[in-house]
Structure 1
Amino acid sequence: MTSTPAREGFFFPAEWHPHVATWLSWPHTEASWTRDRQELMFPAYIDFIKAIARSEQVCINAHNEQVMQAAEDRLRAAGVDMSRVTLLPHPTNDSWCRDHGPAFLINPAKQQRLIVNWGYNAWGNKYPPFDLDNMIPIRIAQYRGLDYVTPTAPTGSIIMEGGSVEFNGAGTVLTSRACLLNQNRNSHLTQADIEQYLYDYYGVRQVLWVEEGIVGDDTDGHIDDTVRFVNEDTVVAAYEANPSDDNYPFLQDIHHELRSMRLLNGKQLNIVELPMPDPVVSDGLRLPASYANFLITNGSVIVPTFRCNNDQPALDILGQCFPDRQVIGIDSTDIVWGLGSFHCLSQQEPAL
């Protein structure tokens, strides 16, 4: 492609846009969960797959034939509708498909789809190896028979993770400086440079920045733990009510930043406060537990819960935001030990 996706009319739709499928990468190494922790998290992971499969196809990158068979055995034993599941022999290093999976763009006028093959370096070279994960967008493009484009600069590929960007489907993307301007991603690029890549390869016309993320987030501040669009002009924003909590100042700053923002049409954001769960701590480590790490599917909103009093209020708030979808809470306490939850694990594939 000699032009950019944006000039050709492609854009990244909002997550509530109809899906062809949701993509996952099956856990098979100890990169995020030790073997004993993996056994603890698999019941919730399979409940997650079962919930997605109620309203759309689930496509799963499985490292090899052995992993494919082990995955199928677990899914069948749990009663998952296997007609809604496709297992593919796509080698992976880890399980966080939101970040290593493809960015699917659509062009409704031309009835075409396109994949953006961003570079992936495991959140600033924190968790090598990541070479197999970095190939996943190309493997999926080949499987789907879709063209793909790889954003590059003179110094190499452009690092971009799906959890670092949040779209309203109407020209706006939300992101954080702590992540996208981190020197461990694209040290050779300025903020203006990065904004131009977002315009050119996501088809947006406005970039809105918050500063930080939450405590325990090893991604350096992914937006999908703090602020999520629920329609074109409304966000849910993680809110900490306890002034002594370590997240309190960061989330207060984000709310202040959001209140000052204006959308392309000049409107202020509607901001819905989404409470934070009680701190989730394991082995002395504060984990990045947040209700904002939900996944929107064709028929549901799948929300992580954490065995605390704010679980139900959070589900109720999201139910009011998505009256046309079933809100499903699934215990993510063992999943978040791997430092992510349902949104981090998944990447939606939009329909035209």
Structure 2
Amino acid sequence: MAGQRLLAEWEPQDAVLLSWPHKGTDWDWILDDVTQLYEALATVICDYADLVIAAPAEELDNIRARLAAMDAPMEYIYLYPTPTNDTWARDFGPLTVETDEGMKLLDFQFNGWGNKFAHHLDNQITRNLFDQGAFAAATLEQQDWVLEGGSIETDGKGTLLTTASCLLNTNRNPQLTQEQIEVRLKAAFGVRKINWLHHGHLAGDDTDSHIDTLARLCPNNVIAYVACDDPADEHYAELKQMEAELVGMTDADGEPYKLIPLPWPQAIYNHEGQRLPATYANFLILNEAVLVPIYECMTDEDALEQISQAFPGYDVLGIPCATLIEQGGSLHCITMQLPEGVLEPL
């Protein structure tokens, strides 16, 4: 192998990383609801992969007791004392690349999506976990520039998909041009082609349009993407333009994509009347399973069916995530897969 390669999410996994909600996070006002969601999610994940949990030291005994009371398989769950600001593991967690010497964790800088939120503790989580032996079979390499896992998608075969509104935003790496960012992406992840989306957004999203809320690379040159079919909706024009961009895209080998549109959920608002970024694109891929966020909408079943088309042979399970979008994120945002060879040698 020449250089290093960022693995596709559907390649074999050792585990999934979670950062547990607690009173010190923005979840405090609905802590019971979100904790129950995390507990249910943990038990489902353990059917397909191990689980690594980061949480403040004073929270660990309670987390362990509550999971054990649910008959969670504790032999597959690893808890590590780690101070945290919040729970968005996708964006401060490690991005794993395959090298000739084994798996390497790239620890990018995390600045709270452009200094919108406190992030000083979350920016240290990957390093803290590594120092405690959480990723025993992998090495760690610190990166000196800002990048969040939710902002990129790869097929593991040379193609990367991202959004210009996030990666080129001056609140991330103002010192870098697009050309310089592309050079860094290609060097870090072993990709040959970068596909940039210039359209697409969700109201209520704090990430400057992370790709994992809009369009997802799937096996066999498939892209599952958010499609809005309501001309009266505020998202309609932007998402139609995004769809047109996707139609014209090819992978690193020049092959076109098969596009699978995901249904448009009904508008969901918080108690202050602000629209929340409900999206079915924020699904989590596990070993032989896909966990799909659902929102108690009429379109939930259609979403599960469409994602089943993108992942033939996988278990496709709906996870109620109406609580998660209260803070602007969903299922993929709170998780980070740890590929095979990270926890234990291949």
Structure 2 length as normaliser, TM-score? 0.93
Specify the alignment match of 1:26 in structure 2.
20
Q: Are 2:221 and 2:258, in contact at CA under 8 Å, matched by a contact in 1?
A: yes
Alignment of 1:160-239 (within 5 A): 160-211=147-198, 212-239=200-227
TM (norm. structure 1) is 0.92
Cα distance change on mapping 1:30 and 1:287 into 2, 3 Å:
farther
Q: SS at the partner of 1:281?
A: coil
**Structure 1 residue 30: Cα displacement:** 4.7
CA distance in 1, matches of 2:267, 2:151: 22
Counterpart Cα distance in 2 of 1:267 and 1:205? 13
Among residues 273, 282, 290, which one is paired with 1:293 in the alignment? 282
CA distance in 2, matches of 1:254, 1:273: 12
Match of 1:113 among 91, 103, 115: 103
State the Cα distance separating 1:90 from its structure 2 match.
Answer: 1.9
2:34 counterpart (35, 38, 41): 41
Per the TM alignment, residue 256 of structure 1 is displaced from its structure 2 partner at its CA by 0.7
Deviation at 1:147, TM superposition (A): 2.4
Q: Which runs of 5+ in 2 are unaligned?
A: 342-346
Once the two structures are TM-superposed, the CA of residue 73 in structure 1 deviates from its matched residue by 2.1
Structure 1 spans left out of the alignment, 5+ residues = 1-6, 152-156
* Offset from partner CA, 1:217-247 (integer Å, 9 cap, x none): 1011000010001114110010011111122
Which of 37, 45, 60 does residue 52 from structure 1 map onto? 45
Which residue number in structure 2 is paired with residue 3 of structure 1? none
Q: What CA distance in whole angstroms lies between the structure 2 residues aligned with 1:167 and 1:213?
A: 20
Count how many residue pairs are aligned between Structure 1 and Structure 2. 336
- Please provide the CA RMSD for this pair: 1.5
Q: What is the CA–CA distance in structure 2 between the aligned matches of 1:299 and 1:337, rounded to whole Å?
A: 29
Equivalent residue for 2:125?
136
1:111 CA drift (Å): 5.0
Percent identical residues: 35
In 2, Cα distance between equivalents of 1:90 and 1:139: 7
Equivalent residue in structure 1 for 2:7, among 13, 17, 41: 13
Q: CA-to-partner distance for each residue in 1:48-86, whole Å, 9 max, x for gaps?
A: 11111001101001121x211121122122222212211
Q: Structure 1 residues 300 and 228, CA, compared in 2 at 3 Å: closer, same or farther? A: same
Q: Find 1:73's aligned residue among 65, 69, 79.
A: 65
Answer yes or no: is the 8 Å Cα contact 2:153–2:162 preserved in 1: yes
Determine if the alignment matches structure 1 residue 158 to structure 2 residue 150.
Answer: no
SS of equivalent to 2:336: strand
